[in-house]
């Protein structure tokens, strides 16, 4: 029995791929996700992911977004099968609902797909998300999108990846022309040409060739584009990085694929190569060492908590990444932090369209647990011996507001709301160190302030007022002899919930100056 369970887990782990797409808004993430789901048969209708996104983003009104939250929960994780692989795509909200959750979700992924607009190159949000992936050392695959439009040259983009992100790249395919002249891509690994037929996107043809000097390419693409292709590829062969599997797995080298998501061009080859190269679910660190997915005992951790859309019910959904063993509906597990046994009776799995009750799930899968208020971000659940996974990273807030309660009599409810909402992890709270007793909230995306204000009123009956501050950076200071009065100009000193000193700076210059003037202090981006 034991042998067959371990075989089953191994088999399921081997075929799983759990990844997140990281990009700047408008690079084409929704479009690419939709094409991937179509290949997997998870959705049947082109346009369904798109329509959902439109309803999510058509308005910046929080109340409207609230109405749509049922939708955003289901699209938080999308699962489909393709070529015997089970694929989990984690959604990383990128528009106005960008928040710490977006970063934290990346901890649940085993690899990332970095999507870049060929004309815009590496953009701000991509940089931030990339850095989080980099710190974790997960493999990063790059898809350069919108090849049907004029854009930067492939060499320029490779240079940008290196200069801006500090990562070397290896093109897996190479464009033959671009924009109006786009003729196709040359697949370097499989020596074949994928033809782009501009007038009828559905008939994309793949032709096997000997190499890039094959006369077939010249017949198809003409002299000008072929000469260009040959000189580019000769240069790449000599000066480019060779494909190195180990470096890709270590996140030091990113394979690049060129294509056009909206035309479904290059997407299928990308998916197939990605599934071959991307890692299966990897181990996660715990206080008792790394937990391998093949471990027969079930374990997992909560990386995201989403409040219920219906204010009448305060229940929430806790997103759990399964790290080892086999999950079965109704199983009893240990809630490690509060040392209680709980039954996982109504778990949800997130498919592209519907919420499903999940019967079994395996490492790499994400399940949604009904949460009557018992979970916190980072909580571990395990079967058998207690496993406590490493704390999840926190992220430096970038927008700050002072908060005041309009009715002082509501202070108790306010405190309760503040505690519960900060537990969900999208908002951080700080306290002033000066003469006034001030509470300051820090977030990564401004929508979180609106959410906070709305929920304080709707769920706790507290009217609050937020006063936007001009700070942009927070640094946790480690120093035995700290003198808060040193931080006055364009900055302020506050304390976090645990009493750690945190300096808030208005601009990078103020922060740099403080760092230079205090060589004995450590300035950390996140809590120590």
Binding site for ligand G4P (CB under 6 A): 23, 25-31, 50, 145-146, 148-149, 260-263
Shortest distance, position 116 Cβ to ligand G4P, whole Å: 10
**244-270 b/e with 16+ CB inside 10 Å = b?**
eeebbbebbbbbbbbbbbbbbbbbbbb
Binding site annotation covers 175?
A: no
- Cα separation, 210 vs 163, whole angstroms: 34
Q: Which residues neighbour 234 within 8 Å (Cβ) at sequence distance 6 or greater?
A: none
Binding site annotation covers 28?
A: yes
Binding site annotation covers 108?
A: no
Binding site annotation covers 146?
A: yes
Shortest distance, position 118 Cβ to ligand G4P, whole Å: 8
- Cα separation, 341 vs 326, whole angstroms: 17
Token pair 């945190």 in the structure block, residue: 502
Binding site annotation covers 221?
A: no
Cβ proximity to ligand G4P, 91 vs 453, nearer residue: 91
Contact status, residue 227 vs residue 143, Cβ threshold 8 Å: no
Cβ proximity to ligand G4P, 201 vs 297, nearer residue: 201
> In the 3-class helix/strand/coil scheme, how is 435-459 assigned residue by residue?
CCCCEEEEECCCHHHHHHHHHHHHH
Q: Residue 83: phi, psi to the nearest 5?
A: 45, 55
Contact status, residue 122 vs residue 165, Cβ threshold 8 Å: yes
Cβ proximity to ligand G4P, 49 vs 441, nearer residue: 49
- Cα separation, 171 vs 212, whole angstroms: 14
284: buried, middle or exposed (CB in 10 Å: 19+, 13-18, 0-12)? buried
Shortest distance, position 117 Cβ to ligand G4P, whole Å: 8
Binding site annotation covers 119?
A: no
Shortest distance, position 303 Cβ to ligand G4P, whole Å: 22
Shortest distance, position 39 Cβ to ligand G4P, whole Å: 16
- Cα separation, 442 vs 394, whole angstroms: 12
Instruction: Give the helix/strand (H/E) hosting 493.
Output: strand 491-496
| Structure-block tokens of residue 269 | 């080859």
Cβ proximity to ligand G4P, 66 vs 91, nearer residue: 91
* Crossing angle of helices 48-57 and 29-39, rounded to 10°: 150
| Structure-block tokens of residue 344 | 């996982």
Binding site annotation covers 91?
A: yes
Binding site annotation covers 480?
A: no
Shortest distance, position 155 Cβ to ligand G4P, whole Å: 20
Cβ proximity to ligand G4P, 196 vs 487, nearer residue: 196
Measured over the CA atoms of residue 199, residue 201, residue 202 and residue 207, the dihedral's sign is positive
Shortest distance, position 263 Cβ to ligand G4P, whole Å: 6
Shortest distance, position 184 Cβ to ligand G4P, whole Å: 14
Contact status, residue 494 vs residue 505, Cβ threshold 8 Å: no
Binding site annotation covers 60?
A: no
Shortest distance, position 322 Cβ to ligand G4P, whole Å: 27
Binding site annotation covers 402?
A: no
Binding site annotation covers 393?
A: no
Q: In what order do the strands lie in the sheet with 111-117?
A: 77-82, 85-90, 16-22, 111-117, 140-145, 253-258, 168-171
Binding site annotation covers 145?
A: yes
Shortest distance, position 398 Cβ to ligand G4P, whole Å: 20
Binding site annotation covers 57?
A: no
Shortest distance, position 200 Cβ to ligand G4P, whole Å: 16
Cβ proximity to ligand G4P, 53 vs 475, nearer residue: 53
Cβ proximity to ligand G4P, 15 vs 120, nearer residue: 120
Q: Residue 168: phi, psi to the nearest 5?
A: -80, 155
**401-418 b/e with 16+ CB inside 10 Å = b?**
bbbebeeeebeebbeebb
Specify which residues 367 forms β-bridges with.
320, 349
Cβ proximity to ligand G4P, 114 vs 344, nearer residue: 114
Cβ proximity to ligand G4P, 148 vs 232, nearer residue: 148
Contact status, residue 473 vs residue 505, Cβ threshold 8 Å: yes
Cβ proximity to ligand G4P, 261 vs 387, nearer residue: 261
Cβ proximity to ligand G4P, 152 vs 280, nearer residue: 152
Q: Where are the alpha helices (DSSP H) in 120-260?
A: 124-136, 154-160, 215-239, 245-249
Binding site annotation covers 324?
A: no
The annotation places the binding site for GTP at 23-30, 91-95, 145-148
């Amino acid at each position: 029995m034991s042998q067959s369970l371990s075989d089953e887990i191994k088999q399921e782990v081997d075929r799983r791929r759990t990844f997140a797409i990281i990009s700047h808004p408008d690079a084409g993430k929704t479009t690419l996700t939709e094409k991937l789901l179509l290949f997997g048969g998870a959705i049947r209708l082109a346009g369904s992911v798109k329509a959902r996104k439109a309803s999510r983003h058509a308005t910046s009104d929080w109340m409207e977004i609230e109405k749509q939250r049922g939708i955003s929960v289901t699209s938080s994780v999308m699962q489909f099968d393709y070529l015997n692989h089970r694929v989990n795509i984690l959604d990383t909200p990128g528009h106005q609902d960008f928040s710490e959750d977006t970063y934290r979700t990346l901890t649940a992924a085993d690899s990332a797909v970095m999507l870049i607009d060929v004309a815009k190159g590496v953009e701000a949000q991509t940089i931030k998300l990339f850095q989080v992936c980099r710190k974790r050392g997960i493999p990063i695959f790059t898809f350069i999108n919108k090849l049907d439009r004029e854009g930067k040259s492939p060499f320029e983009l490779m240079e940008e990846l290196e200069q801006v992100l500090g990562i070397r790249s290896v093109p897996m395919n190479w464009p033959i022309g671009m924009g109006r002249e786009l003729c196709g891509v040359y697949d370097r690994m499989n020596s074949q040409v994928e033809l782009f037929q501009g007038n009828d996107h559905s008939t994309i043809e793949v032709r096997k060739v000997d190499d890039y000097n094959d006369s077939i390419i010249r017949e198809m693409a003409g002299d000008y584009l072929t000469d260009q292709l040959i000189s580019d590829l000769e240069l790449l062969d000599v000066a480019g990085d060779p494909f190195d599997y180990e470096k890709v797995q270590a996140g030091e080298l990113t394979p690049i694929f060129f294509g056009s998501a909206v035309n479904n061009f290059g997407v299928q080859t990308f998916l197939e190569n990605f599934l071959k190269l991307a890692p299966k679910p990897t181990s996660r660190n715990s206080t008792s060492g790394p937990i391998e997915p093949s471990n027969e005992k079930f374990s997992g951790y909560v990386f995201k908590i989403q409040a219920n859309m219906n204010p009448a019910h305060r229940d929430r959904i806790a997103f759990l990444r399964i790290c080892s063993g086999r999950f079965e509906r109704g199983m009893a597990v240990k809630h490690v932090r509060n040392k209680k046994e709980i039954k996982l009776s109504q778990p949800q799995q997130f498919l592209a369209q519907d919420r499903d009750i999940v019967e079994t799930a395996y490492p790499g899968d994400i399940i949604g647990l009904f949460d009557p208020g018992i979970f916190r971000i980072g909580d571990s659940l395990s079967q058998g011996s207690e496993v406590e996974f490493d704390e999840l990273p926190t992220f430096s807030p970038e927008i700050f507001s002072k908060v005041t309660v309009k009715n002082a009599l509501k202070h108790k409810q306010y405190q309760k709301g503040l505690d519960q909402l900060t537990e969900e992890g999208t908002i951080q709270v700080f306290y002033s160190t000066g003469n006034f007793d001030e509470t300051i909230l820090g977030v990564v995306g401004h929508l979180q302030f609106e959410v906070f204000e709305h929920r304080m009123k709707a769920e706790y009956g507290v009217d609050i007022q937020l006063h936007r501050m001009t700070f942009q950076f927070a640094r946790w200071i480690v120093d035995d002899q700290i003198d808060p009065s040193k931080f006055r100009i364009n900055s302020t000193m506050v304390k976090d919930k645990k009493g750690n000193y945190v300096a808030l700076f208005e601009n990078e210059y103020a922060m740099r100056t403080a760092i230079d003037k205090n060589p004995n202090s450590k300035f950390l981006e996140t809590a120590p």
